[in-house]
Chain A
């Protein structure tokens, strides 16, 4: 049987991806340019017995998905930069309490209210460093409607597998444009659900590291009584200030990501094999970059594209390898230079690293990238 196809907006594809992943709770607050995610799910979730709630504010939305996730729900929220700023404290809560959840950030210009209807990529550092305290971060940056679908599924998988908040960031351009989506059949994409505890309620400890780097999370209302807090805690979930316990827990929560880079990492390369210049770009900007690479190749310039799909953890190894091979890396992003600092950090001077930026609300176009590549050569 032919697969279902549809012309969908990026935001609609996100909602459909969430449903595919088994999302059954959405808590949100209206904000441009992400609102269509909420609009679609307000209609679809009750059809499958799921829950949609529009909360009183962005913070409440984040709180509601953490609460829902604790009962075993697969919970989602969708917002944009200003909303993510407001959610940051509770994103940190989900980190330390290790509650799986997915946050969609449809990026617009900023700071503050900025340009609500214009695209931006200026929340990429916020996705890593936005909440206070040390913590691991996973952030995915799809570049097409189809990829928004599949990366939303992957975001749920990573959230459930690593017991943490996962962010999906895409800019307004991809969020609002329409492309054909081929709906995967059930089972075609992997769908991961969190591990259930093997211990009974009497001996269960929600942060028992002897059960592995990611201890199983029991659901409220499933027979387990346990305590969840945003304070530093011991393996039983109760607050502690004992130095050795605090240190071990903080490190475990970061190691669970850094020790599993191979599983979490995802990127795409295009004509990088013989490239003199690598364009390093993500999201809609990577589409401009790919167009530019093709045009440059027609002119005999050996350009290639490196496109991270997992932005955090940062693709250090491959970026460093490319820096060692290429003459230059052009980092193209719709901000005034954010990921370029990471690229510079891992390139360690092995090649020239320059940026091509744009923040005026217009897309960073292929012409700009071509000019920069020629300049750097």
Chain B
């Protein structure tokens, strides 16, 4: 892994992307013992509007805690893509929710599309786990943390009754992400 790897999760407020960022940071820093910093856009709105969460992962201590040049970016909505899918590095990754983002921003990076929200709704049966599907997909696509570390971090975060659901969601996302990468 590169010394510093920067990820940005963006979508609509309330979609759970800040939680996805926190889970990834836990996978990297608590489970894998790397350095990680998670931060988020912090607006006055509680719900709606575009929101973002950034995670920096590194083998070395992290100085600047915000993104400088993004290695991988996720955008779940058009508004989020317009507002936050920028500063992606050359050869970087942009993952879009295929159903909700029609116009991908221009740039020298690879755009991938997955119907993330639909997968959560139709394959898992609960739209609410779209963030966990997305997290799995990002991890599958980037390999920024191991599959197991990601799964363990997800399971640590959710209550007992929802563990199966989230495990399924994560694994579905991971498999699809991995397929995209290969």
Binding site for B on A (CB under 8 A): 5-7, 33, 116-117, 172-174, 176-180, 284, 287-288, 290-291, 294, 363, 365-367
Contact = CB atoms under 8 A, between A and B. Distances in A.
B66 A290 contact: no
Nearest to A289: B63
B47 to A, nearest CB: 15
A284 B36 CA distance: 15
B102 interface: no
Contacts of A284: 65
B40 interface: yes
A333 to B, nearest CB: 15
Contact of B36 (A179, A288, A294): A179
A183 to B, nearest CB: 12
Contacts of B73: none
Contact of A176 (B25, B42, B44, B64): B42
Which of A117, A179, A287 has the most C-beta atoms of chain B within 10 angstroms of its own C-beta?
A179
Contacts of B25: 7, 178
B59 to A, nearest CB: 14
A7 B42 contact: no
A81 to B, nearest CB: 16
A117 B29 CA distance: 26
B175 interface: no
Contacts of A179: 29, 36-38, 62, 65
4 tightest A-B contacts by CB?
A291-B63, A291-B64, A177-B39, A180-B29
Contacts of A6: 30
A177 B37 contact: yes
Contacts, number: 63
Contacts of A174: 65
Interface string B7-45: 000000000000000100110011000011111101110
A106 to B, nearest CB: 12
A171 to B, nearest CB: 11
B44 A117 contact: yes
Contact of A117 (B36, B43, B62, B63): B43
Contacts of B38: 7, 177-179
Contacts of B40: 176
A173 B65 contact: yes
Interface of B: 22, 25-26, 29-30, 35-40, 42-44, 62-66, 68
B64 A117 contact: no
A288 B44 contact: no
Given A287-B64, A290-B63, A33 B35 contact: no
Contacts of B30: 5-7, 180
A172 B36 CA distance: 18
A46 B116 CA distance: 43
A5 B65 CA distance: 20
Contact of B39 (A116, A176, A291, A366): A176
A365 B29 contact: no
A178 B25 CA distance: 8
Nearest to A285: B64
A363 B66 contact: yes
Contacts of B43: 117
Contacts of A172: 42
A358 to B, nearest CB: 13
B65 A180 contact: no
21 contacts: A6-B30, A7-B38, A117-B42, A173-B39, A173-B65, A176-B39, A176-B42, A177-B37, A177-B38, A179-B29, A179-B36, A180-B35, A180-B36, A287-B63, A287-B64, A288-B63, A288-B64, A290-B64, A363-B64, A365-B68, A366-B63
A117 B26 CA distance: 24
Contacts of A365: 64, 66, 68
A319 B56 CA distance: 32
Contacts of A363: 64, 66
A178 B22 contact: yes
B68 to A, nearest CB: 7
A206 B59 CA distance: 53
B42 A366 contact: no
Contact of A7 (B26, B63, B64, B68): B26
Given A173-B65, A294-B63, 10 more contacts: A7-B22, A7-B26, A33-B42, A117-B43, A178-B22, A179-B37, A180-B30, A180-B36, A291-B68, A363-B64
Nearest to A119: B42
A52 to B, nearest CB: 24
Contacts of A180: 29-30, 35-36
Contacts of A178: 22, 25, 37-39
B39 A7 contact: no
Contacts of B66: 173, 363, 365
Contacts of A177: 37-39, 65
Which of B25, B40, B66, B68 has the most C-beta atoms of chain A within 10 angstroms of its own C-beta?
B66
